[in-house]
Amino acid sequence: MAFEIRSKDLLGRIGLLRTKRGTLQTPLLLPVVNPNSQIIPAKALQDTFGYDALITNSYLVWRKFRGEKDVPKIHQLLNFEGVVETDSGAYQILQYGDVEVRPNEIIRFQERLDSDMAVILDVPTGQDASKDRAKWTVEETLRRADQSLKVIERRDILWVGPVQGGVFPDLVAYSAKEMAKRDFQIYALGSPTPVMQQYRYDVLVDMVMAAKMNLPPDRPFHLFGAGHPMMFSLAVALGCDIFDSASYALFARNGRYMTTQGTAKIEDLEYFPCSCPACHKKTPDQVKKFLLMDRDRFLASHNLHTCLGELQTIKQAIVDGRLWELVETRSRTHPALHTAFNRLLTYAENLEEGTPVRKKKGPFIFTETSLRRPEILRYQKRLLERYRPPTRATKLILFPESQLEPFQEDSTLQNSLRRFERRSDVHICAYGLTFAVVPQELLDVYPLSQTESALSPTNMAINNALKRITEYLKAAAYARCLIFVEEPWQVRVGRAIRTKFRRKMKVTIIEAKSYDKQLFSKAMEALK
């Protein structure tokens, strides 16, 4: 296989993509290089900035050398020693409606260019197409895919099969399912650029997920045109492995300075919130006095550093198991990203399937939104499906989770707990806002004791905990339940449980201001 996955978190992967010219690590950004005009020379992308791969437009090269017998190899033409992916002209179809080159012709031309990765000439859907038009672009792209696979001779090139369908998730799903039947080494989501340019990231979430859920997981997924670093973490969490973008240069020509929180105009800046090699020892006032060409080159350089730095941050987050935290943090930088993050939550079960069971670090819980993260959903699901209380236990004691934390050193509490533990009819559990209910024997299991939470007892958090505790109690079917309560929200939960189970289980609520011998004597009396 050309693609090997090394680390995972959510649907994000760190992978190794093997090409005939070298191995690349994903998530991977391919800067778009115009073969006829380069604000940053292609050679500098690798030597100065650390980009080992780029993408260029084979259609523009074809127009330049049309009819000539001797065509330079693409690496020679660009003066670039790294991996080169070539697009086929679909962007020009999206912009201008058509191109002069035929699908089979551009396939053969990319083989002559000696591309490392290459895209067939698909028909982009765009975002304004009617559903009938969108359906036609899907069918025509599939027809061209079949035609291209018959023409392709160079199997050392990694060929990209684009998925179309635009803003219609059902068509995207159909396109992906059908394209998956064709043997491409890489799959891609076609024509999402207009959606991203308008910051419709919630629509993008649906488009990407419709494609990802119907494509083979052992192949990398390319999101065409994803160029702003503030949305990279979201896209990676959705399972995008490869990006390409000309935004570093386009934004520079418009005087725009990229950050992971958004974009600023250079004339509005008094300070650079960055210490990349481009910004180091420079001030905005100095840059504003540059000649226009020098200013554009400075901004393009900074933008490239910012994009690469964000990808490195994302990779480390995947290794640490902290991709959720990063995506949630980035979602607070722009309302469109926050809307997209909320949309992402509707695919929580899909995210759970891709998240490792164990990680190097425990999750951080900040708000109710964090309760939808995969580790918590997985625990709640497995508690109901895979766990059974001790066989002879007919009585349940629920302690606030702070009292049953591992390595608890309160001797009075520990001595009293041992009295309960010696009784085979008693089962001890902790309860809280994050995991709802945790049997004592599971407290040390990841991620229960490794999770750190700042969750406040809001109505949503309390109702969620109550729902989960109720589900557990229904499945376990105890005869008695004793609940220790310390805070008002716990009293509320205890009373709700008592009301809910008044005909099936005797529920006793004990207010615990301090865990002394008198309190535990009262508890023992209640269990008789």
User: pLDDT band at 407, cuts 50/70/90?
Assistant: low
d(CA 268, CA 460): 41
Domains of the chain from N-terminus onward: 3-21+28-351 (3.20.20.105), 370-526 (3.40.50.10630)
Instruction: Report the alpha-carbon distance of residue 457 to residue 488 in Å, rounded.
Output: 9
Q: How many CB atoms lie within 10 A of CB 198?
A: 11
For the ranges 84-98, 143-157, 192-206, the lowest mean pLDDT is seen at: 84-98
Name residue 361's amino acid: K
Question: Out of 87, 202, 244, 296, which one is annotated catalytic?
Answer: 87
Burial of 305 (0-12, 13-18, 19+ CB in 10 A): buried
Chain-wide mean pLDDT for the chain?
93
d(CA 11, CA 8): 7
User: What is the DSSP secondary-structure string of 433-452?
Assistant: SSSSEEEGGGTTSTTTTT-E
Longest pairwise C-alpha distance within the chain: 97
Would you call 370 exposed, middle or buried from its count of C-beta atoms within 10 A (0-12, 13-18, 19+)?
A: buried
Q: Which of 70-84, 156-170, 193-207, 318-332 has the lowest mean pLDDT?
A: 193-207
Q: Is the pLDDT of residue 140 over 90?
A: yes
Residue with the bigger pLDDT between 226 and 47: it is 47
pLDDT in tens, 281-303: 999 999 999 999 999 999 999 99
Distance in angstroms (rounded) separating the CA atoms of residues 193 and 200 = 10
Q: Which pLDDT does position 412 carry in this prediction?
A: 64
Q: Which residues contact 514 (CB under 8 A, 6 or more apart)?
A: none
Q: Which residues have C-beta within 8 Å of that of residue 376, sequence separation ≥ 6?
A: 363, 365, 370, 434, 435
Q: Which residues contact 37 (CB under 8 A, 6 or more apart)?
A: none
Among 129, 57, 118, CA closest to 92:
57
**Per residue, what are the HEC states of 231-280?**
HHHHHHHCCCCEEEECHHHHHHHCCEEEECCEEEEHHHCCCCCCCCCCCC
Query: How far apart (Å, rounded) are the C-alpha atoms in residues 236 and 223?
Result: 10
57-77: per-residue pLDDT in tens? 999 999 999 888 889 999 999
Task: Determine the pLDDT at residue 90.
Answer: 83
Helix or strand run (H / E) with residue 51: none
The separation between CA 178 and the C-alpha centre of its own chain, rounded to angstroms, equals 24
Query: Is 9 an annotated catalytic residue?
Result: no
